[in-house]
A = this chain, B = another copy of it.
């Protein structure tokens, strides 16, 4: 019989400690929210140096299983309620509730939504945006609106919306308050009726800047959605980059199959 390489024997002490703690967490011996033994206690318990116990904790923290709070201890991470964004979030009927999808979802969870406008500037677009919006990446061809979304003051997502500068210039689109039905209302007045959308989805670890804005603990990735709105002539007229906290976000797509 072959020895299982992933099993507890023959592993460095730090991994063995991590493995035992993981098993204890998954079996519920340490419940969600509960405090683990301190690094010093673990070290003594296993007859290892503190750094070795600490390395075990680091492994679990990278997996998103536990989270360390400076000064108080290491705790089993609690599963969070997801913000669910359905593919109907782009529909007109949804827009006509007068609430954005984010506000709707926050209300559903009994939380208070807040949206901070952190910047409205004319810019040279990033390459991926320029391609999808059909503008030059070498000129200041876009209006960039950046918003941060909060639920009960907890940051949830970062949204960067890009519009053609030539269209947005001089309109309420350059203002913090865009009026009834938001930017899509204004864009419709400019002749763009949203008829199709494309969402391109990836996931990755956050940049340090994103981690700070979103208050991300280690072991929490982000979901990045590159969203393109197409009008009645299949022309792209708006591109947005959504950066979602993965521990708080579920995306839902419902499709008819041909």
| Among A22, A63, A93, A249, residue most surrounded by chain B Cβ atoms (within 10 Å) | A63
Quick check: B62 and A62 within 8 Å, CB to CB?
yes
- Is A177 part of the contact surface with B, judged by Cβ < 8 Å? no
What sequence of 0s and 1s flags, for each residue 73-104 of chain A, a beta carbon within 8 Å of any chain B beta carbon? 00000000010000100111100000000000
Which one of A29-37, A115-123, A198-206 is at the B interface? A198-206
Complex contact B253–A91 (CB within 8 A): no
Picked from B22, B63, B90, the residue with its CB within 8 Å of the CB of A257 is B90
Q: Within 8 Å of chain B (Cβ to Cβ): is A139?
A: no
Q: Is the CB of B255 within 8 A of A63?
A: no
Distance in Å from the Cβ of A8 to the closest Cβ of chain B? 12
Q: Is there contact, CB below 8 Å, between B221 and A221?
A: yes
Task: Knowing A201-B251, A253-B199, say if A93 contacts B258 (CB, 8 Å).
Answer: yes
Residues from chain B with Cβ under 8 Å of A219 in the complex: 205
A218 within 8 A of B: yes
Q: Indicate with 1 or 0, residue by residue over A243-258, a CB within 8 angstroms of chain B CB atoms.
A: 0001101111111111
- A208 and B63 contacting across the interface, CB-CB below 8 Å: yes
Report the minimum CB–CB distance from A40 to chain B (whole Å): 19
List chain B residues, Cβ under 8 A from A221: 203-205, 221, 246
**Interface SS, A side:** mixed
Verify if A111 is at the interface (C-beta below 8 Å from B).
Answer: no
A188 to chain B, nearest CB (A): 12
User: A163 at interface (Cβ–Cβ under 8 A)?
Assistant: no
Q: Which residues of A contact B (CB under 8 A)?
A: 6, 22, 62-64, 82, 87, 90-93, 194-209, 212, 218-223, 246-247, 249-258
A-B contact pairs, 20 of them (CB 8 A): A6-B208, A62-B218, A63-B208, A82-B202, A90-B255, A90-B257, A93-B258, A195-B257, A196-B255, A197-B257, A198-B253, A201-B201, A201-B253, A202-B223, A203-B203, A203-B246, A204-B247, A205-B219, A205-B221, A223-B223
